[in-house]
Amino acid sequence: MKPESDLLIGQLRLLETDNPLYLPVETSIRLLVTGMDVIHSWSVPAFGIKTDAIPGRINQTWLYIIREGTFYGQCSELCGVNHAFMPIQVVSVSNDVFFNNIIF
């Protein structure tokens, strides 16, 4: 998560991340989710997705994004002292941008 002092005008407090997840649009995407320390929950409400990240297990879900944009979510599991500070930022981009590594 970005510190408040690093936010630019227009960026959202407690939702912007240092490393957003870039995904292509109009592509079936299989997400494999696991945890390292405690149970987390990867949740992005705009996608209708909530998947638990459990240490020692691999959970999967499918995702198909129909438009470009930036989408936000948060960990929705009580995973510890910094639970309220675990944002998720997904940026969906065109297939050309994603598969030619133009932006990352």
Q: Report the predicted TM-score, pTM, of the whole model to 2 decimal places.
A: 0.81
Within-domain flag for 58: yes
What CATH number has the domain bearing residue 57? 2.60.40.420
CA distance 96 to 104: 13
Within-domain flag for 34: yes
Q: Could you tell me the residue range of the domain that residue 85 belongs to?
A: 4-99
Per-residue pLDDT of the chain (104 residues; tens, 9 = 90+): 667 788 778 777 777 788 899 999 999 999 999 988 888 888 999 999 999 999 999 999 999 999 999 999 988 777 777 666 788 999 999 999 998 887 66
Q: How far is CA 5 from CA 8, 46, 56, 87, in A?
A: 8, 28, 36, 17
Within-domain flag for 104: no
